[in-house]
């Protein structure tokens, strides 16, 4: 495997988490317009995407491979908790 192939595999490993974080933040900003107006999109999306990516790595370590349904469920839970923390919880500032 060449360096470009390795980079593509690494990108495809983290792409679901990054997409989930961005999509969930966009939908949260759309659904709770007034409440999340003072919170920027970047402040919501970046931590949510990083949390989902961390769960992807944890799932890879725990299960020995990626793409397990438990990992995806953990990604959704981590993303939702992070969005709540940044949007409505103590992390809002």
- What residue spans define the domains of the chain? 3-87
- Band (pLDDT 50/70/90 cuts) for residue 89 is confident
| 42-46 average pLDDT score | 95
Q: Which residues contact 64 (CB under 8 A, 6 or more apart)?
A: none
Tokens linked to 90: 């103590």
What's the pTM value of the predicted model, to 2 decimals? 0.88
pLDDT over threshold 80, residue 93: no
The pLDDT score that the predictor gives to residue 27 is 96
End-to-end Cα spacing for the chain: 46
pLDDT over threshold 90, residue 74: yes
pLDDT over threshold 90, residue 67: no
- Band (pLDDT 50/70/90 cuts) for residue 32 is very high
Helices marked H in 32-93: 41-63, 69-87
Q: How far apart are CA 74 and CA 54, in angstroms?
A: 10
| 8-24 average pLDDT score | 94
Of 76, 87, 75, 74, which Cα lies nearest the Cα of 38?
87
| 50-69 average pLDDT score | 93
The pLDDT score that the predictor gives to residue 1 is 85
Nearest-10 Cα torsion for 34, 50, 17, 89: -30
Of 19, 25, 14, 1, which Cα lies nearest the Cα of 82?
25
């Amino acid at each position: 495997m060449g360096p470009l192939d390795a980079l593509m595999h690494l990108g495809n490993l983290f792409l679901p988490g990054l997409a989930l974080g961005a999509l969930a933040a966009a939908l949260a900003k759309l659904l709770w317009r007034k409440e999340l107006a003072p919170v920027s999109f970047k402040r919501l999306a970046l931590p949510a995407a990083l949390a989902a990516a961390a769960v992807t790595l944890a799932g890879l370590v725990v299960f020995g491979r990626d793409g397990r349904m438990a990992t995806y469920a953990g990604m959704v839970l981590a993303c939702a908790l992070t969005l709540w923390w940044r949007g409505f919880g103590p992390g809002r500032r």
